[in-house]
Structure 1
Amino acid sequence: MKKTAESCMIVATLIATVVFAAAFTVPGGVKGDTGSPNFLKKVSFIIFSIFDPISLVCSSCSIITFLSILTARFALEDFLWTLPMKLVLGILTLFFSIAAMMVVFCATFFILFSEGIGKLAILATVLASIPVLLFFRQQYRLLWEVVRSTAFRSDSLISR
């Protein structure tokens, strides 16, 4: 659990760094006279503006959750409920962070390339869904096993 938390915390930190930087490097640039984004009225820019902070918040929550696992006291009773549920919460927020980051990536492609080469933006969207689906597929069993063994355990485990 500790190694998983360490690895996932590194990934969440990288995502937080990237989406934080993306918030201040607006795709398409800004107007020189007003400082407002050039593509402010485009739907894809609004999607970018919504999902970038969602990704930042989810990755930050994931970092905090994994940090709480690493700094836990690791008492026997913590392994029955607290630590497994923190692991589930951390992985879920990391998943939502990855998914939101990919939406931001796709929205950026639509902002920049929808008018000239729209097919490139569609291809980028299809390709961006692969890491999200891959992460979900690889972590689903771990999540299910942790939830099943924690939430649906018999009373005999609690009395131990």
Structure 2
Amino acid sequence: MQQELLWFQEVQKIAQPRYIKEKNKKGKIPEQIFSNSHKGLLQEGEKWLKHTAQSGMIVSTLIATVVFAAAFTLPGGTNNSGIPNDLQYTSFLIFVLADGLALFSSIVAILMFLSILTSRYAENDFLKSLPLKLMIGLASLFFSMITMMIAFSFTFVLAYHDYRLKWVPFLISVFSFLPIFVFAFQQFPLLFDTFSSTYWSRTDMFQPNRHMLY
């Protein structure tokens, strides 16, 4: 739908002004003809975006729930004054920072996916508004997954900081990042295609041909 809208806008730029509002035999102007002929494509785009946003929102909500709970169940516990027992360790500070970033980024992802679900899905929304929200949502979701896994890994670092068990957090950290690579492998093509279609397609599609025949 985005590509079709770009083509329509470019044709409007080169068309004579009187043709833009001129009606055909059925009394319809070009914009109405375009809208009627692309109703099916608009509905398919709306259906796909809603499905993608719903899936992303479920994962983002799950991450937000997990990291929010982790913020109140600190590794190592607290003393009688409520101060964390592992506060002196650098690993604990990294855990707190990663957990907070995971919470904030997952909330951003939830808001972006929610705004997609509640969008009007007008034709012009497919040009930049909806793709931009989708990109921010996917990027925030990916960042929240990374920071959540960092917090998860450093929880094991704090739990098994004994020199005899240092291999345990290292092994757990390696395996904990496997889901991130799987997610990146599956979703990065979508993120790249959305970005290139939104910001590069106009330049690539309508760049004047420099090859000249002499």
Settle same-fold status: TM greater than 0.5.
yes
**How much has 1:91 moved relative to structure 2?**
0.2
Structure-2 separation of matches of 1:69 and 1:2: 7
Structure-1 separation of matches of 2:169 and 2:196: 40
Q: Count residues with an aligned counterpart.
A: 156
> Structure 1 unaligned runs (5+)?
none
Among 36, 43, 49, the alignment partner of 2:90 is: 43
Identity %: 45
Structure-2 separation of matches of 1:4 and 1:114: 41
**How much has 1:153 moved relative to structure 2?**
1.9
Structure-1 separation of matches of 2:99 and 2:202: 42
**How much has 1:21 moved relative to structure 2?**
0.4
CA RMSD of aligned residues (A): 1.3
Structure-2 separation of matches of 1:145 and 1:49: 34
Give the structure 2 partner of residue 7 of structure 1.
55
Asked if 1:87 corresponds to 2:134, the answer is yes
**How much has 1:80 moved relative to structure 2?**
1.1
> Structure 2 unaligned runs (5+)?
1-48, 207-214
Asked if 1:67 corresponds to 2:103, the answer is no
Among 144, 157, 178, the alignment partner of 1:110 is: 157
Give the structure 2 partner of residue 20 of structure 1.
68
Give the structure 1 partner of residue 183 of structure 2.
135
Q: Deviations over 1:99-151 (max 9, x none)?
A: 00000000100010121511010001101111111111111110111111111
Structure-1 separation of matches of 2:174 and 2:201: 39
Structure-2 separation of matches of 1:117 and 1:37: 22
1:28 alignment partner, SS class: coil
Q: Deviations over 1:70-121 (max 9, x none)?
A: 0001000001111011101100000000000000000100010121511010
Larger Rg: 2
Give the structure 1 partner of residue 9 of structure 2.
none
Give the structure 2 partner of residue 145 of structure 1.
193
Structure-1 separation of matches of 2:177 and 2:66: 18
The TM-score, its normalising length taken from structure 1, stands at 0.94
Relative contact order higher in (CA < 8 Å, ≥ 6 apart): 1
**How much has 1:154 moved relative to structure 2?**
2.1
